Amino acid sequence: MPDTRYVFVTGGVASSLGKGIISASLAKLLQARGYKVTIQKLDPYLNVDPGTLNPYEHGECYVTEDGAETDLDLGHYERFLNVPTSQANNVTTGRIYQNVINKERRGDFLGKTVQIIPHITDEIKRNIKLLGSKHRFDVVITEIGGTVGDIESLPYIEAVRQLKWELGSRAVNIHLTLVPYLAASGELKTKPTQHSVKALLEEGVQPDVLVLRTEKDLAPDIRKKVALFCNVDSRSVIQSIDVSSIYEVPVKMQEEGLDEIILEKLKLPVDQKPELKDWKSFLDKLHNAKKVVKIGLVGKYVELNDAYKSIIEALIHAATYNDHKVDVQLIQSETLTSENIADTLTGLHGILVAPGFGHRGFDGKLLAVQHARENNIPFLGICLGMQTAVIEFARNVLKYEKANSKEMDHTTAYPVIDLMEDQKNITDKGGTMRLGAYDCKLNKESKLSAAYGQDCIRERHRHRYEFNNEYLSAFEAAGMKATGINPDTGLVEIVELPDHPWFVGVQFHPEYSSTVLKPHPVFMAFIKAAINETPNTKQ
């Protein structure tokens, strides 16, 4: 669309200030006014995508419907906007360079010296504009990862400078900084913000709006001071005060008038302030829930909340709509033993075994599944968690000695989870798993068919290994049913134990598609079961 508007969100002073949440909040507010909005994340690292990153590095890898392995901020975008993102919404320096170098090898620049400016910056600009032109968005919000002043982000800021010049009032920059509070002197300090804006100015970009993260309210004189030093009007100095839930940020940003200022600067009509009714009623439920449902999240990356971001958010959505607060207890599977398992899992209303790769902490996951199965505790296994449930059942019910996934034990006599033929010759690690959305047909009698209220679903995947159908009839005869099947390949996507109050394993990742206004049916049913079916877990 020729008149797509562009909002660039940069950050300064410190990392992790929440550019993703500010971007998603602004997008939400513009969407509520009827604009067609999307958000894009530009990541300044050299990995082609975050799929090859250990979750300890950047948190969870978020998967889009079209099978892109992306930054976890895209999860926020979808949770806030309720609109799917795609490969085009996340671009890394690695991908930019790969594209430019491929073009160079093809001869596209024949005779020319290929340089950061203009070739890399042109490729960045092409990727920014692609969303607007191809998908006809009214507003594209582009979040630049990293912090202004970093060597890595220089080409991105240069691309922003060029685009602001080319697009005039169709492009604005929001710069997010931190105003620290010094408890000893009882003062809020604006100097880091001034310096950060200077760094941005040195790179040729004048911010249009400043969003200041703060733990205390910013008095008008502080805003005026920042405005004076940073060449912005004081209405355009906006505070983003710490809140108890990220889902309050859109409401706070609306109170601060962020969306109005941006629309004015982009020369778009402002019209009436949207009520955000559904959003606010979610927040009311979130804040007013009194009863607590306790869920044990068993995984190996529990030291870092971000590793299971989408799962935790999906649990919050589902608990809120079930009028409960969720208390997610992160349980390090490496520490679980047959001696401590009962004590560690006591008092939990539901047990979720997380996705993952490799054998670290795998034995503990098996113990957690066995505990949930034998004690009738509602259980949800996601991806590796589902595979663990299959292996546990093979070992302890079918008595297949040392049954395993080929991922964990190459020589197992009972490979109940195995690599499919089309994965066997793959050697590259990046982008080669079963990725993205696949159809699944549900068994009408199953718990998930009741939860979804439909027979055909489509969910996102990210794994290499699959249930081995050679064992399917033995599993079904012993009581573990395959209740969801891929109609094209016959692959097992869901297993359930009909004799258990609620025991479900899903090969796909329902957490990626739970949003604030559309909690996911699998999590809704799991939480409902955890609330209603909780047995006395003390033994």
Positions in the binding site for ligand GLN (CB under 6 A): 355-357, 383-384, 407, 462-465
Q: How far is the CB of 456 from ligand GLN (least distance, A)?
A: 23
Distance between CA atoms of residues 534 and 520, nearest Å: 21
Instruction: Write down the least CB distance from residue 375 to ligand GLN, Å.
Output: 24
Helix (H, G, I), strand (E, B) or coil at 516: coil
DSSP for 303-358, please give it: T-GGGGHHHHHHHHHHHHHTT-EEEEEEEEGGG--TTTHHHHHTT-SEEEEPP--S
Amino acid at 60: E
**C-alpha 42 chain-centroid distance:** 15
Whole-number minimum distance, CB 33 to ligand GLN, in Å? 37
CB contact at 8 A, 484 and 466: no
Q: Which is nearer to ligand GLN, 119 or 463 (CB)?
A: 463
Catalytic pick among 123, 317, 511, 520: 511
In the complex with ligand GLN, which residue's Cβ is closer, 247 or 523?
523
Report how far residue 447's alpha carbon sits from residue 449's, in angstroms, rounded to the nearest whole number.
Answer: 6
Q: How far is the CB of 462 from ligand GLN (least distance, A)?
A: 5
**Closer residue to ligand GLN, CB minimum distance, 384 or 389:** 384
Query: Catalytic: 275?
Result: no
Find the length of the chain: 539
170 vs 462, beta carbon nearer ligand GLN: 462
CB of 354 to ligand GLN, least distance (A): 8
Q: Is 383 a known active-site residue?
A: yes
In angstroms, how far apart are the furthest CA atoms of the chain? Answer: 77
Q: Kindly calculate the radius of gyration of the chain based on its CA atoms and give it in whole angstroms.
A: 25
Among residues 78, 248, 313, 383, the one annotated as catalytic is: 383
Q: Is 118 helix (H, G, I), strand (E, B) or coil?
A: helix
Which residue from 145, 156, 81 is spatially nearest to 117, judged by alpha carbons? 156
The residues facing 401 across adjacent strands are none
Nearer to ligand GLN (CB atom), residue 143 or residue 511: 511
Q: Are 378 and 404 in contact, with CB atoms under 8 Å apart? A: no
Tell me if residue 509 is catalytic: yes
Q: How far is CA 125 from CA 111, 131, 147, 157, 186, in A?
A: 23, 11, 19, 11, 44
Closer Cβ to ligand GLN, 19 or 462, answer by number: 462
Instruction: Tell the smallest beta-carbon distance from residue 35 to ligand GLN (Å).
Output: 35
* Active-site residue set: 383, 509, 511
